[in-house]
Amino acid sequence: MRLCVGTAKGIVILDPGRGATPLMVSADPPSVWCMAQDCTDPNLLYAGAIHNAQAGSARGKSSLAASDDGGRTWRDITPGNARDEEVWALAASPTRPGEVFVGTSHARIFRSDDRGFGFRECAAFLKLPGRDRWTFPQPPHVPHVRSITFDPHNSDVLYVGVEEGGAFCSRDHGVSFEPLNQNIYADIHCIAADPEDSTRLYATTGAGFYTSTTGGSSWTQIKGMSRSYAVPLLISRGASAAVYTAAAGGPPPTWTMDQLGADALLFRSVDHGESFSPIASADGNAHPMRGMVMRLVGHPGNDQLLFGALSDGGVIKIDEREETTAMVAEKLPPAYDLAVIP
């Protein structure tokens, strides 16, 4: 097993069973913000880039790349009509090999059915009412698609989160979209449906964690978490099914200025997101982290193992059986996403 880690300075490939020394480091693509992995070919990866000096990311000539060999080599697949866009979200279909959805700055969505060789835009997303009021706090105040996920029971159903614009759903594979914004903070980072019940949705936002038991027609903010800026979201399966997230003490501008960094904690819920408990480290205590967990992914062959990419260049492993975390690698460039290659 290998980990392909997307960082602000390119790709790092690790073998978590052989120590923290990278097996390979590549500056092509030069910067990675988000990744996706094909549903049948684990070596087919997609990587998107943004230009965010504060996050340590600076895209090169392209904003979207694909690898057919598990991250060793890459090809530019940036759509011609999106050359000026940044790629903030990627989602590979769980049932259709070679299909990938791409979310960009200016809140646009593109779709490829042929491993990224051709794209078409989901035009209906450009026509949603109130779109002209979507914004982003930092200059140039451009909203972006931050999250795209599929319904685990129906891959024609997509959930989309816009930072800052709200939550949306397509029930016809991106042909049309509807808002899901009743009682939810519009700064959406991740959104996903529960694998056991598609009417139960989860969302991480700049104001904490939200759940819906009505398919997104209304939302409830979860109280009791000791951190407010929630980013990653992972719903594990198997006998120990749980909902995982991580939250920082404040938004990204504070992560480099605050003495405690992101002051982030990992959280786990075993009651469908109704309550969360911090996850302990190997010593049995929950220690705040300077780096923020930007992405959580599961091991495809082991329901008990999860991995996380940290904004301070760390990669962590979470053992569900032990309910503890351990460091896999440190001192990499800021890490924002990763994929597990069996």
Distance CA 199, CA 214 (A): 5
Token pair 């504060």 is found at 54
Q: Which residues contact 201 (CB under 8 A, 6 or more apart)?
A: 159, 180, 191, 192, 193, 194, 211, 212, 215, 216, 219
**Per-residue confidence (pLDDT) for residue 60, from 0 to 100:** 63
Structural domain range at position 15: 2-341
Query: What is the predicted pLDDT for the residue at 56?
Result: 61
112: β partners: 100
Structure tokens at 243: 């909902």
**pLDDT (0 to 100) of residue 59:** 61
Cβ burial of 342 (10 Å; 0-12, 13-18, 19+) is: exposed
**The pLDDT of residue 57:** 62
Domain count, the chain: 1
Task: Report pTM.
Answer: 0.94
Quote the pLDDT of residue 58.
Answer: 63
d(CA 301, CA 5): 18
Strand order in the sheet with 2-7: 24-26, 10-14, 2-7, 335-341
pLDDT at 159: 98
Residue 203: Cβ within 10 Å count: 29
CATH code of the domain covering residue 207: 2.130.10.10
What does the pLDDT profile of the chain (342 residues) look like in tens digits? Answer: 999 999 999 999 999 888 788 999 999 899 999 999 999 999 999 999 997 665 566 666 679 999 999 999 999 999 988 888 999 999 999 999 999 999 999 999 999 999 999 999 999 999 999 999 998 887 788 999 999 999 999 999 999 999 999 999 999 999 999 999 999 999 999 999 999 999 999 999 999 999 999 999 999 999 989 999 999 999 987 656 799 999 999 999 899 877 889 999 999 999 999 999 999 877 878 889 999 999 999 988 887 899 999 999 999 999 877 777 889 999 999 999 999 998
Between the alpha carbon of residue 241 and those of residues 116, 134, 244, 272, 296, the distances in Å are 33, 35, 10, 9, 15
